[in-house]
Amino acid sequence: MNPYTHALAGWCAAQAVCRHRRDVAIAAVGGVLADLDGAGLFIDVATGHWNGPYRWYESLHHVLGHNLLAAGATAVVAAFFARDRLRTGVVFFALFHLHLLMDLAGSGGPDGDLWTISYLYPLSQREFSWSGQWALNAWPNVVFTAALLALFFRQTGRHGFSPFWYVSKRFDEEFVRTVRKWFAGKGGGTCM
Ligand SMILES: [Zn+2]
């Protein structure tokens, strides 16, 4: 699915489960990190392939980062930097897998191509897919993203902070105040 859908899902889940703001941010990264393997696109563009073929992108995306080993290794690193290490590591690992499931469900190509994931890479080259997979631009993704956006605003009002908090506390206060006006949410700031 699209990176912003992954980011919304990861953030909403991490904010609901983690107890500390630092851990929320760390765990939420688990929802988007796998797509770093799409960075091969920059190599393609940098080597002059503006209009394809995108060899680096196509050979690395959904392979290098979308697997069990990447999930386990990055979850250990994430736990190391967290305040509540066990909870954050588990949530990060779970959100990494939520990302993989979302891709399997709704990352199909416009011409009916199935996106596959090399889950056991590099131990096995076996590719996993789901025959019911819908296209990346299909309506379920639009509905899912809209629902996540509504959940994001609801949780912002309830928890009293958003991702803006990590960049500017003053802007975040203003953002939360505005969101609470819209959604009439009651908040108390549930994590520190
Ligand atoms: Zn992905």
Output the CA 18–ligand 1 centroid distance in Å: 23
Q: Which residues pair with 135 in a beta bridge?
A: 108
- Quote the CA–CA distance of 45 and 165 in Å, as a whole number: 34
Question: What is the Cα 153 distance to its own chain's centre?
Answer: 17
Output the CA 118–ligand 1 centroid distance in Å: 12
* pLDDT tens-place values along the chain, 192 residues long: 999 999 999 999 999 999 999 999 999 999 999 998 877 777 777 777 777 777 777 777 777 889 999 999 999 999 999 999 999 999 999 999 999 999 999 988 878 889 899 999 999 989 999 999 999 999 999 999 999 999 999 999 999 999 999 999 999 999 999 999 987 655 555 566
Output the CA 169–ligand 1 centroid distance in Å: 30
Q: Quote the pTM value.
A: 0.88
Helix (H/G/I), strand (E/B), else coil: 120? coil
* 16 in Cβ contact with 80 (< 8 Å): no
Output the CA 167–ligand 1 centroid distance in Å: 25
Output the CA 130–ligand 1 centroid distance in Å: 14
Output the CA 104–ligand 1 centroid distance in Å: 9
Output the CA 162–ligand 1 centroid distance in Å: 23
Output the CA 186–ligand 1 centroid distance in Å: 34
Output the CA 71–ligand 1 centroid distance in Å: 12
Helix (H/G/I), strand (E/B), else coil: 192? coil
Output the CA 177–ligand 1 centroid distance in Å: 33
pLDDT for position 43: 78
Output the CA 87–ligand 1 centroid distance in Å: 23
**Which of the 8 DSSP states describes residue 7?**
H
Output the CA 184–ligand 1 centroid distance in Å: 34
**Domain parsing of the chain, residue ranges:** 3-136
pLDDT for position 189: 57
Output the CA 33–ligand 1 centroid distance in Å: 8
Q: Residue 98 is which amino acid?
A: L
